[in-house]
Chains A and B, each alone.
Chain A
Amino acid sequence: MRAFRYQRPADVAEAVALLDAEPDAAYLGGGTNLVDLMKLGVQRPDLLVDVTGLPLDTVDTLPDGGLRVGATVRNSDLAAHPAVRRDHPLLSRALLAGASGQLRNMATTAGNLLQRTRCVYFQDTGKACNKREPGTGCAARHGQNRDLAILGWSEFCVATHPSDLAVALVALDAVLEVYDPGGAREIPVAELHRTPGEQPERETNLPRGALITAVRVPPLPFARRCTYLKARDRATFAFAVGSVAAALDLDGDTVRDVRLAYGAVAHRPWRAYRAEEALRGRPFTAELAARAADAELAAARPLPHNGFKVALIRNLTVRALTGLAAAVPR
């Protein structure tokens, strides 16, 4: 690991100024991803700016019924927060489906959203990887790509974003509060991550040095009935092979509203807008759910080893929605 300096800023402005002044600086949250990647030599910061002491560690309910989650709130505290469990349970479900008790006690909200891909070639500095070293090629494109993308990938990179929380936040139309040298700004979580295009090293639309300070989740009462289905290679404590976040609102048999997002299928959490469109205003049936998933997945281009993910996501969509339809009071 490269030797580095360490700073604990007193406030947000100092944190941003520190990062702005140093080309090789990085923010440190819980460290569960960054420290791991530093050990592997994938990330080599010269300065760590520890943000966990900043006053960004509260969960507040907003007057409109929404939620404001500080960037340094630990994943376990967020999942267990009474207002989250009661009014925004999709967040608890997605968080509890990820990592382990110990890791959730360490991991922060912002760190979770900005964790890097689990592509094994990205993690191995001996392999070609356009994301780690632009221009070197993509070892995964014709290598072991079973776990990687089916949607939105490019010849430059076929990686997926591994966060479960991000999938739930995208489904719920959450908005990030960000602070950068230009001042405060907001950006929808759905616009945080990019598709790889020709620049897989550019993973987000955040300006350089931007500090995430909070995530706001708007009120969505019908999403109290929700589900997060996560398929993985063992029963628990594993990253998703594919996941579906869903919330459903029925008026009699008719779909009044729906939220649907997919995880582990693309370089960013994938909001299934097309599937939602195919569902809204129609009488709900399992066949309709399958057709809606097909509408979304028509754009899928599976890699040599992950063709199964198309059927997996389709089936998870049907299972999630039919389960919710059976439980929703009419």
Chain B
Amino acid sequence: MRSGRESGKPAEDGRSSPVALTVNGVRHDLTLDNRATLLDALRERLALIGSKKGCDHGQCGSCTVLLDGRRVKSCLILAVTLDGRAVVTVEGLAGPEDLSPLQAAFVARDAFQCGYCTPGQLCSARGMLDEVARDWPSAVTEDLTAPVELTDAEVRERMSGNLCRCAAYPNIVAAIRDAAAAR
């Protein structure tokens, strides 16, 4: 992994910019073409290839990461807008020897087949459970002002921004409910 200030092209034409980005706790001082998305910066510049490019248009969720703790789609965020911000990718959720409870639940429930959507599902689920903890309502929440009860329908609606071409959906829902119950 590269870190430290890179000797990128000077930004004299104004079409690239210095960006200080903290990823998984490590600060990187980059010079980035203003056109670079967060997803491309993560994959191409920082070699963090856990975040996946499925559609590049906000439609599939495989690029989901946490930005200052909130889940977002990294394919539609320009990295130049993130100077001073902190990102967590699937690589930052836990190390290979100590899976997070959410990751362990995905393994235990067999919540994937090819695994392409999984990094996005995991980051999205992490952000989603924080939203539930703050009692954010969803489209299927009947009473907007009541505490949220995390039913299967709630999990499905809240995870609808993450598609799975292998259709592992039932097991993804089960894994997330396990992880929520263990919180």
Contacts and interface: CB of A to CB of B under 8 A. Distances in A.
Interface stretch (A13-21, A61-69, A95-103): A95-103
B78 A237 contact: no
A60 interface: no
Interface in A229-260: 235-237
Contacts, number: 110
A32 interface: yes
A101 B131 CA distance: 9
Contact of B56 (A39, A52, A92, A101): A39
A105 B71 contact: yes
Contact of B145 (A4, A79, A85, A106): A85
Interface in B156-182: 156-162
Nearest to A81: B136
A150 to B, nearest CB: 25
A89 B160 CA distance: 22
Interface in A96-131: 96-97, 99-103, 105-106
Given A1-B35, A105-B72, A100 B144 contact: no
A236 B160 contact: yes
Contact of A100 (B34, B35, B37, B61): B61
Given A32-B58, A101-B127, A101-B161, A52 B136 contact: no
Interface string B66-95: 010011110011101100000000000000
B128 interface: yes
Contacts of B15: 3-5
A54 interface: no
A324 interface: no
A6 B34 contact: yes
B78 A35 contact: yes
Contacts of B135: 80
A174 interface: no
A163 interface: no
B138 interface: yes
A197 interface: no
Nearest to A74: B70
A80 B128 CA distance: 13
Contacts of A93: 139, 144
Given A105-B70, A237-B161, A31 B137 contact: no
A50 interface: yes
Contacts of B158: 101
B127 A102 contact: yes
Contact of B76 (A36, A80, A92, A101): A36
Nearest to B159: A101
Contacts of B127: 101-102, 105
B73 A102 contact: yes
A32 B63 CA distance: 14
Contacts of B13: 3
B124 interface: yes
B124 A102 contact: yes
B33 A35 contact: no
B61 A31 contact: no
A301 interface: no
B154 to A, nearest CB: 11
A144 to B, nearest CB: 18
Contacts of A6: 14, 17, 34, 78, 80-81
Given A79-B136, A80-B137, A103 B145 contact: no
Most chain B CB within a 10 A radius of its CB, from A50, A93, A103: A103
Contact of A31 (B77, B124, B141, B161): B77
28 contacts: A4-B15, A30-B76, A31-B78, A35-B76, A36-B57, A36-B76, A39-B56, A76-B70, A79-B137, A80-B131, A85-B145, A92-B137, A92-B144, A93-B139, A97-B139, A99-B161, A100-B160, A100-B162, A101-B71, A101-B128, A101-B138, A101-B161, A102-B71, A102-B72, A102-B124, A103-B73, A105-B67, A236-B160
Given A86-B145, A106-B77, 16 more contacts: A6-B34, A28-B78, A35-B37, A35-B78, A76-B131, A79-B137, A80-B137, A100-B161, A101-B131, A101-B161, A102-B124, A103-B73, A103-B76, A105-B71, A106-B73, A236-B156
